[in-house]
Structure 1
């Protein structure tokens, strides 16, 4: 199994675990050899109030079958690569989509899920529905807002759909742009621009990296990116070594001045 990635192996183990969980519905005494989710982390849910307030939270060992997955850092685009990718886009729709990810930090699924009424161009706000149907308000970059405005006035086809970004031509003209359609767009522009890392999520990672390099507060970054846990946001700090070195040198200088 060495030729398979740890993530692939764990997904297959999760499928096996699901079969055992189904068996457990018929036979309560059946043991699941591949625990997952909460049962793999905690013996009990451990609520701090209610009927289980008296219980103690105790770790339960993870199944020995599970493999540790390497945590990879987000990959951002360099400024020249980001500029080259955006410059290759020819429609106002595609420029607006790229702008929302690159300068507002939206996920591709969040961009595709936007309705026309979610964008307040005058007030410069976007209402974003993220993971778990959680909503957040994100400031709208004025340049991106101008591109969206032109798209709405000059390019968006007439449609009964409330979706902001629609298919422009073909049999599905006027319907909401799909994830497959978005992948096709970026695949084409990666080829013509030569930016091999120009995937939709790389634009969002670039946004997070720029914020980290600018020294934006971690809590603000978390709110903008829509992360449930600040640990996820903190990963962007590791992508800004020049900024980290600058802060380190500045701290050393302050400490030396205090010691005098």
Structure 2
């Protein structure tokens, strides 16, 4: 990301204090250029810190006057408005990052966020389909695509690839045609922190992708399309919100449990584990930096643990 691009990520929110906006602009550049965070993540950080700045300015204070008391008052206000604990935890993490940076950069006298306690987030797992439900959903998408309508072919290919590879929806819509290798049945995606990984997929997904690339995508290509693999009806790169809506509709029409794209990713991970894959492999497929994330993210039943223990331990 260039310096100009990073500058565009700065808050243009009319917060009312030029000095504060200057600090937030500098924080945006730090996140984008030094920490190499994605545009989406930078915007999320700025939105969270912007909430704190707005709270300060409502009370007549500026960023330079930030202290632990004001931080706690802001957090209490968020809680009273009914904000989910997971969102609160994310906002606290963003503010801690900001305070550490601001203290080192001389914008704050001390790192006031170091003592701010974060609420423990609820560990709600996303909805997950069983194997039969996933098969029913994808079979319905395939039947729907039999008319060779480009949107139907796209939806079938996208859902097959989501389930086959376990990629994030943001990774899938960011994929280019050149990232796809139908011969090897792999796709290269760019995940969090701009980290690339190559993920395999199976024959059903390859069949759907081949139909989409050969028959569906050419019908939607426009001069402005570029290299995007999945396209919207106007020829631009597919919007994640469009794919979420597609999945909700097809789940209802197929008579399976409603779920979001993240739930299809979760289903893929769960089925990999149930089929005998180890956690390290699932970690690589999902692109998790930490194995602990994979352990929280997947269902590991007592039966699965017992079977693995019996098979592996010499004194089981």
TM class by shorter chain equals: 0.7 to 0.9
Counterpart contact for 1:222–1:233, Cα < 8 Å = yes
Pairing 1:107–2:168 present: yes
Equivalent residue in structure 1 for 2:115, among 61, 75, 96:
61
SS in 2 for 1:177: coil
Could you say what the CA RMSD is over the residues aligned between the two structures, in angstroms? 3.2
Counterpart contact for 1:138–1:224, Cα < 8 Å = yes
Equivalent residue in structure 1 for 2:128, among 67, 76, 80:
76
Structure with bigger RCO (C-alpha 8 Å, 6+ apart): 1
The offset of 1:188, in angstroms, is: 1.6
Larger helix share, 1 or 2: 2
The offset of 1:134, in angstroms, is: 2.0
Aligned to 2:67: 31
The offset of 1:70, in angstroms, is: 1.3
The offset of 1:128, in angstroms, is: 0.1
Gaps of 5+ in 1: 1-11, 46-58
SS in 1 for 2:189: strand
Instruction: Please show how residues 185-200 of structure 1 align to structure 2 within 5 Å.
Output: 185-200=246-261
Alignment CA distance shift 1:79-1:232 (3 Å): same
Counterpart contact for 2:173–2:238, Cα < 8 Å = yes
Pairing 1:97–2:158 present: yes
The offset of 1:235, in angstroms, is: 2.1
SS in 2 for 1:28: helix
TM, length-normalised to structure 1:
0.73
Counterpart contact for 2:187–2:199, Cα < 8 Å = yes
The offset of 1:118, in angstroms, is: 1.0
- Name segments (4+ residues, structure 1) moved above 6 Å: 21-25, 41-45
Alignment CA distance shift 1:224-1:251 (3 Å): closer
Alignment CA distance shift 1:37-1:84 (3 Å): same
Aligned to 1:159: 222
Aligned to 1:19: 54
- Structure 1 distance, partners of 2:129, 2:62, is 51
Aligned to 1:5: none
Aligned to 1:144: 205
- Structure 1 distance, partners of 2:48, 2:159, is 37
- Structure 2 distance, partners of 1:123, 1:20, is 53
Gaps of 5+ in 2: 1-46, 73-91, 102-112, 145-151
Q: Deviations over 1:188-218 (max 9, x none)?
A: 2122112133322221111111222233232
The offset of 1:77, in angstroms, is: 0.7
Q: Deviations over 1:39-69 (max 9, x none)?
A: 7489968xxxxxxxxxxxxx94334xx5332
Most deviating of 27-36 and 103-112: 27-36
- Structure 2 distance, partners of 1:21, 1:110, is 36
Counterpart contact for 2:182–2:210, Cα < 8 Å = yes
The offset of 1:141, in angstroms, is: 2.2
Alignment CA distance shift 1:74-1:181 (3 Å): closer
